[in-house]
Structures are given as structure tokens and as C-alpha cells.
């Protein structure tokens, strides 16, 4: 008879684990792929069917010697059939395969609720108070291990998201560097052209001042690039703030360049020096593009 009791206790334990795992995986479903969720639901259903089959076998074996235990086991199985738990488990997998996440989640919650009801039936049918307290402690340990497993999985997913984010940041920084290379080339060209003009004129001083401002922007950006390359992920938001501030400064310089590009005196001075009157306009366009890239980079760094 002791063997029967061990089987009964095992049935209760499996029911407890199924209920706990179903509840835990319901919380964890958001980060899992569709195929993984479907496989998980099918596995849980298979375990549940094995459990109900074993409970019926034991109920028949102990029907005469332990009628109360047999009754509790039979009631638990009947309860599962009345609640259509196995069918609902199939529905969850079917909903997931069709991409109906909301319907799957709702049905799964019903399954969890019914599993917990069955667990209560088994607990009260086969345990006295002392045994129940002892088993509750065991279930709490099992639940703690399940939660630890879920936490480890969440940490892995979190690290995966961080790695993905780092790749995105690296890509945006490379795009920004390429844009800045264009700005630098444009500035060198503008420098060569302004050096041919009369430095005493106001419009020439304006161009020289704008050239210096862009040079300072480039120097600041190079510092941020160097900082982000060696910074741990948790420090990136600080670099993101610096990048955001630099983007604002760049927008101001872009506006000044755009205004200078429309200034007829500036155009005339460049023309006298044999330079293209469109040089400032091209510089403004490049700086505008750089400002946009900076804004995108700051958004990624601050997430």
C-alpha cells in the first residue's frame, strides 16, 4: 500500500508543478518565440494526460482499501474532464499557431485556474494537516526553483536585447561618422576658399566664425564617439545626454549656415575669391544631416 501512497503523493506533486509551471510560463510567454510557446504548451498537455491516466489507475487499485483516496483521485480526473482542460490546452497551442496571442493568453489563464482547482481537490483528499504543511513547504521550494529558472531566462533575454541595442548604436555611430567625414571635407573646402578672401570684411569674418563653430562640433563629436566605444552599457545614457546636447548645438550652427548661404554679401565675397557661392549652402546641408544622425544616436543611447 505504501507504493500506492507514493504514487498518490507524486500525482499531487506533478499537479502542483503543472499548475506552477503553467502560471510561470504565462508570465514568460511575452519574450518567447511562437514555435517555442506551441512546443511548451504541447509538452504541458502531454504531462497532464500522463498524470490523469496514472490517477485513474491508482484510483482503481485503492478503491476498496482506501475509498476516500480513490474518490479524491476520481473526482480530480472528472473535474478536469468537466473543465475540458486537455481540450483547452489544445486550443492554446492552436491559437498560438494562428498568431491569436490574446485568445491564447485568456484560455491559458482558464487552464491555470482549473489546474489549481484540481490541485486543491488532491490536497484535501489525500493529506492530513501535518502532511499538507509538509507538502506545502516542498511545493514552495519547487516554485522557488521555477522562479529562479524564469529569472535566469529573463536575464538571458535582457542581455540579448542589450547586445541587439549595442549593434544598433554601433551602426548609428558609423553612419554619424560617415556624415561627419562629409562635413569635415566640406569644411576643408570652405577653409581654402575663405582664406582667399579679404579677412577684414564682415562677411568673411562671419564665414570664418561659422567654420570654427563646425570644427568645435566635430571635436566634441569625436570625444563622444571615443567615450561610447569604451563605455559599459549602463553608462550609455550619460553619453546619450551629451549627444543630445551636441545635436541641439549643431541645429543652431545649421541655422546660422543656412542664413549665411542666403546672404548676398557672403556669396559676393566667395565669388570674388573665385569660390563657389554654393559652398556655404552645401555645408549647411551636411551639418543638417549630421544633426539628424546625432539626434538618432542620442535616442538609442538614452533608451
SS (H, E, C) 66-96: CHHHHHHHHHHHHHHHHCCHHHHHHHHHHHH
| pLDDT-derived band at 245, boundaries 50, 70, 90 | confident
pLDDT of residue 13: 47
Q: Are residues 111 and 168 in the same domain?
A: no
The arithmetic mean of pLDDT across residues 37-54, rounded, is 71
For the packed helices 279-301 and 264-272, what is the interaxial angle rounded to 10 degrees?
A: 120
Q: Are residues 168 and 297 in the same domain?
A: yes
Residue 154 has pLDDT above 50, yes or no: yes
The pLDDT > 90 percentage for the chain reads 0
Q: Are residues 212 and 84 in the same domain?
A: no
The arithmetic mean of pLDDT across residues 132-141, rounded, is 65
- Within a domain: residue 148? no
Q: Are residues 170 and 85 in the same domain?
A: no
Least confident among 48-62, 151-165, 234-248: 151-165
The arithmetic mean of pLDDT across residues 30-46, rounded, is 63
Least confident among 60-74, 139-153, 194-208, 216-230: 194-208
The arithmetic mean of pLDDT across residues 165-184, rounded, is 57
Residue 186 or 224, more confident: 224
Q: Are residues 108 and 237 in the same domain?
A: no
- Within a domain: residue 10? yes
Q: Are residues 284 and 218 in the same domain?
A: yes
Residue 21 has pLDDT above 50, yes or no: no
Q: Are residues 293 and 205 in the same domain?
A: yes
Tell me the per-residue pLDDT of 260-269, one tens digit each, with 9 for 90 and over. 767 776 666 5
Q: Which one of 109, 127, 145 terminates a domain?
A: 127
Residue 135 has pLDDT above 50, yes or no: yes
Q: What is the DSSP string of 260-292?
A: HHT-HHHHHHHHHTT--TTHHHHHHHHHHHHHH
Q: Are residues 46 and 98 in the same domain?
A: yes
Residue 174 has pLDDT above 50, yes or no: yes
- Within a domain: residue 224? yes
pLDDT of residue 200: 43
The CATH number assigned to the domain holding 19 equals: 1.20.120
Q: Are residues 173 and 66 in the same domain?
A: no
The arithmetic mean of pLDDT across residues 109-133, rounded, is 62
Buried b (16+ CB within 10 A) or exposed e, 34-51: eeebbebbeebbeebeeb
The 3-class SS string of 143-182 reads HHHHHHHHHHHHHHHHHHHHHHHHHHHHHHHHHHHHHHHH
Q: Are residues 68 and 170 in the same domain?
A: no
The arithmetic mean of pLDDT across residues 246-254, rounded, is 77
Q: Which one of 107, 127, 147 terminates a domain?
A: 127
- Within a domain: residue 144? no
pLDDT of residue 187: 55
pLDDT of residue 213: 77
- Within a domain: residue 287? yes
pLDDT mean across residues, the chain: 63
Structurally, how many domains does the chain consist of?
2
- Within a domain: residue 158? no
Residue 250 has pLDDT above 70, yes or no: yes
Residue range of the domain that includes 205: 164-301
The arithmetic mean of pLDDT across residues 176-202, rounded, is 55
pLDDT of residue 64: 78
- Within a domain: residue 289? yes
- Within a domain: residue 216? yes
Residue 30 has pLDDT above 50, yes or no: no
Q: Are residues 118 and 210 in the same domain?
A: no
| pLDDT-derived band at 31, boundaries 50, 70, 90 | very low
Q: Are residues 122 and 168 in the same domain?
A: no
The arithmetic mean of pLDDT across residues 139-165, rounded, is 63
Amino acid at each position: 500500500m505504501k507504493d500506492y501512497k507514493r504514487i498518490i503523493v507524486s500525482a499531487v506533486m506533478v499537479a502542483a508543478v503543472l499548475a506552477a509551471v503553467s502560471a510561470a510560463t504565462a508570465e514568460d510567454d511575452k519574450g518567447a518565440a511562437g514555435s517555442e510557446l506551441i512546443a511548451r504548451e504541447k509538452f504541458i498537455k502531454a504531462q497532464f494526460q500522463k498524470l490523469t491516466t496514472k490517477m485513474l489507475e491508482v484510483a482503481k487499485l485503492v478503491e476498496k482499501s482506501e475509498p476516500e483516496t480513490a474518490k479524491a483521485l476520481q473526482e480530480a480526473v472528472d473535474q478536469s474532464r468537466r473543465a475540458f482542460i486537455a481540450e483547452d490546452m489544445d486550443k492554446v497551442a492552436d491559437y498560438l499557431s494562428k498568431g491569436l496571442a490574446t485568445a491564447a493568453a485568456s484560455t491559458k489563464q482558464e487552464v491555470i485556474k482549473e489546474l489549481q482547482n484540481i490541485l486543491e481537490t488532491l490536497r484535501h483528499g489525500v493529506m492530513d494537516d501535518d502532511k499538507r504543511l509538509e507538502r506545502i513547504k516542498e511545493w514552495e521550494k519547487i516554485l522557488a526553483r521555477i522562479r529562479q529558472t524564469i529569472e535566469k531566462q529573463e536575464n538571458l533575454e535582457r542581455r540579448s536585447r542589450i547586445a541587439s541595442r549595442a549593434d544598433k548604436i554601433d551602426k548609428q555611430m558609423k553612419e554619424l561618422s560617415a556624415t561627419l567625414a562629409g562635413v569635415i571635407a566640406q569644411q576643408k573646402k570652405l577653409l581654402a576658399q575663405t582664406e582667399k578672401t579679404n579677412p577684414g570684411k564682415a562677411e568673411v569674418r562671419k564665414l570664418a566664425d561659422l567654420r570654427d563653430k563646425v570644427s568645435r562640433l566635430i571635436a566634441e563629436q569625436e570625444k563622444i564617439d571615443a567615450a561610447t566605444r569604451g563605455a559599459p552599457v549602463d553608462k550609455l545614457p550619460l553619453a546619450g545626454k551629451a549627444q543630445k546636447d551636441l545635436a541641439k548645438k549643431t541645429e543652431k550652427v545649421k541655422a546660422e549656415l543656412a542664413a549665411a548661404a542666403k546672404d548676398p554679401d557672403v556669396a559676393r565675397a566667395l565669388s570674388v575669391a573665385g569660390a563657389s557661392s554654393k559652398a556655404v549652402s552645401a555645408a549647411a546641408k551636411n551639418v543638417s544631416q549630421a544633426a539628424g544622425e546625432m539626434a538618432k544616436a542620442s535616442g538609442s543611447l538614452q533608451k
